[in-house]
Amino acid sequence: MTMTTTLDKRSAATGGRPDAKRRFKPNRSATGYLFVAPFMIVFIALFLVPLVYAAYFSLFREQLVGGNAFVGLDNYARAFGDAALGEGIVRMALYFFIQVPFMLLVALFLALVLDSGLIRLTRTVRLAAFVPYAVPGVIATLMWGFLYGPDYGPLTQVAEGLGLTPPDFLSSDLMLGSLANIVFWEFTGYNMVILYAALRAVPTELYEAAAMDGASPFRIAWNIKIPLLRPALMLTLIFSIIGSFQLFNEPNLLQGLAPDVINSSYTPNLYAFNLAFVGQEYNYAAAVSFVLGAVILAGSYLFILLTNRRSRS
Amino acid sequence: MTAVTLPESSETKRQRRSLGHTKRPSTILTVAALAAAAYFLLPLFWLFVSSTKTTGDLFSTFGLWFAGDFSLFGNISRTLTQEDGVFLQWMGNTLLYAVTAAGGGALLAALAGYGFAKYRFKANRMMFLGVLGAIMVPATALAIPTYLVFSEMGLAGTRWAIILPSLVNPFGLFLMRIYTESAVPDSLIEAARIDGAGEFRIFFQVVLRLLAPGFVTVLLFTLVATWNNYFLPLIMLNDPKLFPITVGLARWQGQAAAGGGATGDLIPLVITGSLLSIIPLVIAFLFLQRYWQSGLVTGSIKQ
């Protein structure tokens, strides 16, 4: 903030000078626009324009005779009454409550343990947890798909070797958990690194005194470090909300292994994809995309609102 | 704030502290952390083991250990020559998409982040907040709208359909603005101005060097996002010659799953191809650790 205020004063000062001097200097405000212009042009062309165009497109319906007809909000009315879409959204909410708390707790635990210096092989653990982030989701799903395999999958082999009945990871009962595990594998390390980086930025003086007074590492973590991690935890949670509700890659690929369990509307995104590219219902697919986007935005804002209120009281 | 610009100093302070009163490592915590590490490495270990097996051994031997025959190199050469070497083409496409999108996206974000941080102009706040709001809009909710526009313009099915949308990086802009505020002192820009340097010359010759850690962070994360991208190329592209590696491998996997016996031979190729395609990114991340960590600190504490 101090930087911007000084900049402000200075530009006000140059503004007061005679024009002769200014003629040799470029207009700063125009230069500011030049710096942001390339980004803003790309942003408008590839973010705002598609959104506006799709919003417009979602107000039409393809008809057998006469091409596209304007139908107003009919597609949205259909979306709100669409049981397949509703089921998908509820399923993703359930998935969110299974997957995200567990993932963030483990990420938080690993970050605190790595930061505390209470374990050996810190570097190895940190790298092992983060490596999955560099693996594309598609490949992660292919690998786990093989690992889950009921016929020759290693997990089944291990269970059989121990004389247990191997669980069918790809059955309808376990599918949501199996998907949650894949995403857990992919993103725990990423969240851990965000939290760990935030912990490293905390000045040690803040808890050195507590340590001198004999506070245990657990008390320091609970009373000092976790409260300081609030902003970073918020960031990871919001990214997780966005990620959960737009789940696509993992169910899309596992569909090939379990076509009876994962139907075309298993997740809202899978549904939008199938509407557009299998059913050719582009107009309705655009409306479904908007409904999904609105659900995600509403979820994120609701979450921010709730946490802010709680911290204030 | 000092931790943002000088991550090294806090690191050394910490080392001094832990030398001061040495802590006893906890066995329970070490075991728990190592168990977690083993879980994260298990699928990768399985991938490596499996890519050394023949099709027959894949189905008949224990999945988590090597079989008698070591056919890794045979598998690699089969992967590279299948369908006239389409695998290498997919890798090349991925590299092209990822490098252009990451390089272009990071440069746009750095220019704009610097512009928003260091210049006063009328629409500054309004435009910045507008872009910030876009972080919340899920990428895949945008994919179908983008497809609609691109197919209208005849760009769907071309390389541009993958590269152009990946250039938009609102979170990168947010990171670069914050990074500029903490890493580029006004006095330095002022001094360069007094020396008579033009505004863009100042940016490219003085500022960009100071922004390097933040820039590399944005570069890496865009690189990963584009490298991992599946939904967008899946809907945009029809021509297998333009596929990135993700869509290509998913296609082989689909053929293997659908075909059964005759295409069962594709499974070792999916596995070996997966192994080959993750190696570059894993190496890039391991070598550039220092950069992405200091960049992430900036992003997470100023939120």
Closest by Cα among A184, A273, A137, A256 to B40: A184
- Roughly what angle, to the nearest 10 degrees, separates helices B139-153 and A282-312? 150
pLDDT band at residue A66, thresholds of 50, 70 and 90? low
pLDDT (0 to 100) of residue B267: 87
* From A30, A31, A35, residue closest to B112, measured CB to CB: A35
pLDDT band at residue A199, thresholds of 50, 70 and 90? confident
The residue type found at B138 is: P
CATH of domain A82-312: 1.10.3720.10
pLDDT (0 to 100) of residue A26: 52
Q: What is the mean pLDDT of residues A134-155?
A: 89
Show residues of chain B in contact with A106, CB under 8 Å: 36
Tell me whether residues B43 and A147 touch, CB distance under 8 A.
yes
Looking at per-residue pLDDT, the higher value among A273 and A22 belongs to A273
Give the H/E segment covering residue A69.
Answer: strand A67-70
Integer CA distances (angstroms), A47 to B134, B142, B257, in order:
8, 8, 36
Q: Is the pLDDT of residue B264 over 80?
A: no
Q: Which two tokens stand for residue B302?
A: 């100023």
- Cβ contacts of A260 within 8 Å, gap of 6 or more: A172
Query: pLDDT tens across B107-143, in order?
Result: 999 999 999 999 988 888 899 988 888 877 777 778 8
- Roughly what angle, to the nearest 10 degrees, separates helices A83-116 and A268-277? 130
Give the A window 30-89 contacts with B, CB below 8 Å: 30-36, 38-40, 42-43, 46-47, 49-51, 53-54, 57
Show residues of chain B in contact with A238, CB under 8 Å: 136
Distance (Å, rounded) from C-alpha B299 to C-alpha B174?
Answer: 8
pLDDT (0 to 100) of residue A166: 83
Q: What is the mean pLDDT of residues A265-278?
A: 92
pLDDT (0 to 100) of residue B295: 62
* From A35, A154, A185, residue closest to B111, measured CB to CB: A35
Under DSSP, the state recorded for A133 is: G
Mean pLDDT of chain B: 84
Q: Report CA A3 to chain centroid distance, whole Å.
A: 33
Give the A window 100-129 contacts with B, CB below 8 Å: 106, 110, 113-114, 116-121, 124-125, 127-129
Interface test with B, best of A6, A104, A138 (most B CBs within 10 A): A138
pLDDT (0 to 100) of residue A1: 34
Q: Is A199 on the interface with B (CB under 8 A)?
A: no
Q: What is the mean pLDDT of residues B68-79?
A: 87
Range among A62-71, A219-228, B45-54 with highest mean pLDDT value: B45-54
Under DSSP, the state recorded for B240 is: G
Strand, coil or helix: B167: coil
Distance (Å, rounded) from C-alpha B230 to C-alpha B212?
Answer: 29
pLDDT (0 to 100) of residue B263: 55
Return residue ranges of chain A for CATH 1.10.3720.10.
Answer: 82-312
Q: Is the pLDDT of residue A238 over 80?
A: yes
Tell me the domain boundaries of chain B. Answer: 2-9+82-301
Q: Is A20 on the interface with B (CB under 8 A)?
A: no
pLDDT (0 to 100) of residue A270: 93
pLDDT (0 to 100) of residue A274: 93
Q: Is the pLDDT of residue A107 over 80?
A: yes
Under DSSP, the state recorded for A134 is: G
> Is the domain covering B2-9+82-301 a CATH 3.30.300.30 domain?
no
Range with lowest mean pLDDT among A21-35, A226-240, A285-299, B155-169: A21-35
Whether the CB-CB separation of A201 and B297 falls below 8 Å is answered with yes
* From A57, A117, A133, residue closest to B18, measured CB to CB: A117
Q: Is the pLDDT of residue A175 over 80?
A: yes
pLDDT (0 to 100) of residue B271: 93
Tell me whether residues B44 and A131 touch, CB distance under 8 A.
yes
Burial of residue B162 (number of CB atoms within 10 Å: 0-12, 13-18, 19+): buried
Range among A52-61, A215-224, B277-286 with highest mean pLDDT value: A52-61
* CB burial string A164-203: b at 16+ within 10 A, e below: eeebbbbeeeebbebbbbbbbbbbbbbbbbbbbbbbbbbe
Q: What is the mean pLDDT of residues A271-300?
A: 90
Q: Is the pLDDT of residue B82 over 80?
A: yes
pLDDT (0 to 100) of residue A124: 87
Tell me whether residues A231 and B203 touch, CB distance under 8 A.
no
pLDDT (0 to 100) of residue B262: 54
B296: closest CA of chain A, how far (Å)? 6
Q: Is the pLDDT of residue B270 over 80?
A: yes
Range among B1-5, B52-56, B163-167 with highest mean pLDDT value: B163-167
B84: closest CA of chain A, how far (Å)? 22
Q: What is the mean pLDDT of residues B165-177?
A: 90
Query: pLDDT tens across B191-224, in order?
Result: 999 998 888 999 999 899 999 888 988 888 888 8
Show residues of chain B in contact with A140, CB under 8 Å: 43
Closest residue in B to A258 (Cα–Cα): B257
Q: Is the pLDDT of residue B291 over 90?
A: no
Q: Is the pLDDT of residue A15 over 60?
A: no
